[in-house]
Structure 1
Amino acid sequence: MPNLPLTLVVITYNEAHTIARCLDSVPFAAEKVVVDSGSTDDTVAIARAHGARVVHQDWLGFGPQRNFATTQASHPWLLALDADEFLSPELAAELETALPAIQASADAAVYLRRRTIYMGRPMRWYRPAVGEKMARLWHRDRARWTDARVHESLRFDGPSRTLRGAFDHVNNPSLVEKQLKVLRYSELKCRDWYDKGKSTRMWQTPFVFLLAFIKDYLFRLAFLDGWRGFIIAQTAASYAVYKRMRYYEMRHNPASRDSASTALHRHGLDRGSDTTT
């Protein structure tokens, strides 16, 4: 497969079990850049063995880390994947065919569709998991990632297009990993809220769980995926509630920020959960 003037960028931290699959799924990229924030496993060695140039950067937060990765690319067009994501053969073939026209266009970004593998099998009906559109291919001079610590997104004003093929996301190998991620992502989101002085609005909390669960379970069709759909809707609703409870604690007991950082560090979950504002 010919190399095309495209840089694949992946941000990593202890992703030895997934990084090879991710990198190998984009065989046509002329350059592969892995920005690692201090992995203690074999991530760096595996990434290099699979054709990536590895750059170390202490953790800046998801948005800033992606923007730093952009500066390390040799090509103006970039493709971002997480280490637990990989292109399907269909999308890889579509990208190889479409890239020359995309790169010759005035497009700022391209939307790709992501499908989720949950509890070992692809979700079939839950809408965010069967074809969620995400801007992951972009021109570095026409788009930029938001600076959010977590839940970052690509921002651009120019034209875009959407491809038909999908890339796959292995959503947490187990519920244990999911709950650990909930703790970490909640802490990052709450720190963003804290920096912005967001009001707590705890009176909304009893309704948040119910509305979030109904939205995912009914309106986003999770119920059609059986018990897996129930679990994914319940987990999402619990995350929405926990963020608000943790933020309330953070506002009313600022010392809990240091305590939480210590606890996250003790369990190896402190990447990005700094104590600065």
Structure 2
Amino acid sequence: MRLSALVVARNEAARLPACLASLAPADELVVVLDRSTDESAAIARSHGARLLEGGWALEGERRNAGIAACTGDWILEVDADERVPPELWAAIRRVAATSPHGFHRLRIDNYVGERLILHGWGGSFGTTLKPILFRRGAKHWRAQRVHPGLDWTGTEGERITEAGIRHEVDRDISDMLRRLDRYSSAKAADLLAAGDIGSLPDNIRRCLSRILKCYVARRGYREGGWGLLIALCAGLFPLLAHLKARLEPERHRG
């Protein structure tokens, strides 16, 4: 049972070495670089990766290109800011060798700087479980710019939680706010492309609902001010995207 590890990145020379080193136990390493201009290509080659370079307007398209380039029976798809701990590989191999299912979710440990934040993630701004281990042919990304939807073939299997993938999601609060700006701009472009930006009242309701869900239902309150900050960002994401599409369509129309 061959396992491919897939990384899709753009100008991630600073974080790519540690990511690729953590994927060394895979049978095949595939790296997709989208319009990268830094040393990412050289770094990928130095780790023995099969390299696919190009330019894709949509996140879903470049991720599907990476999946198509993999030849393993199973694929582990991670981002450049993620690290697979050594103690997780035994569980990954066990599941790939025995699972009758199409995909599995893995535990994600999210860090802001060096602080591990366990609670409160959600609302398209972060997650503690991701469906990133899957059979080749089971996963297809939709044609969207940010957080594209997924279409699956096959059923979902057990969650793999023996250890968490280290996700260095943000460096600090300013980095988190810059991410919110990027994500909401990309989402505004998706809304305009779809021809439906929604209404202001609906997006205000979504904002408040997401804040409450992240801070209360997902126990963000247990993280103190960090949980409140994450809840605010998760809630503002759809509202900012709507306002950008509504007020500045010429800046965000793809």
Confirm or deny: 8 A CA contact 1:135 1:154 kept in the other structure.
Answer: no
User: 1:96 aligns to what?
Assistant: 93
Partners of 1:91 and 1:134 lie apart in 2 by 15
Alignment of 1:123 with 2:120, yes or no, is no
Unaligned runs of 5+ in 2: none
Contact 1:25–1:92 (8 Å) recurs in 2: no
Decide which of 207, 210, 222 is 1:209's aligned counterpart.
Answer: 207
- The 5 Å alignment of 1:40-55 reads 40-55=37-52
Cα drift, residue 198 of structure 1: 1.0
Indicate if the aligned counterparts of 1:114 and 1:133 stay in contact, CA closer than 8 A. Answer: yes
- Residue 35 (1) aligns with residue 46 (2): no
- Cα 1:37–1:202 change in 2 (3 A) is same
Higher-Rg structure is 1
Seq. identity, %: 26
Name the TM-score, length of structure 1 as normaliser: 0.81
1:112 shift after superposition: 1.3
Q: Measure how far apart 1:109 and its partner are.
A: 1.4
Number of the residue aligned with 2:160: 163
- Alignment of structure 1 residues 58-207 onto 2, 5 Å: 58-102=55-99, 105=100, 107-126=101-120, 128=122, 132-161=128-157, 162-165=159-162, 166-207=164-205
How much has 1:95 moved relative to structure 2?
1.2
CA shift at 1:85, angstroms? 0.8
SS at match of 1:75: coil
Question: Shift of the alpha carbon at 1:127?
Answer: 5.4
- Residue aligned with 1:167, SS: strand
Whole-angstrom CA distance in 2 between matches of 1:89 and 1:213: 35
TM-score by length of 2: 0.88
- Residue matched to 1:7: 4
CA distance in 1, matches of 2:96, 2:74: 9
2:86 and 2:145 map into 1 onto residues whose CA distance is 32
Post-superposition offset of 1:99:
2.4
**SS of residue in 1 equivalent to 2:12:** coil
Distance 1:99 1:156 in 2: 17
CA-atom RMSD in angstroms: 2.3
**CA separation in 1, counterparts of 2:197 and 2:14?**
40
Identify which of structures 1 and 2 has the higher relative contact order when contacts are C-alpha pairs closer than 8 Å and 6+ apart.
2
1:262 match: none
Structure 1 pair 76–180 and aligned structure 2 pair: CA distance change class (3 A): same
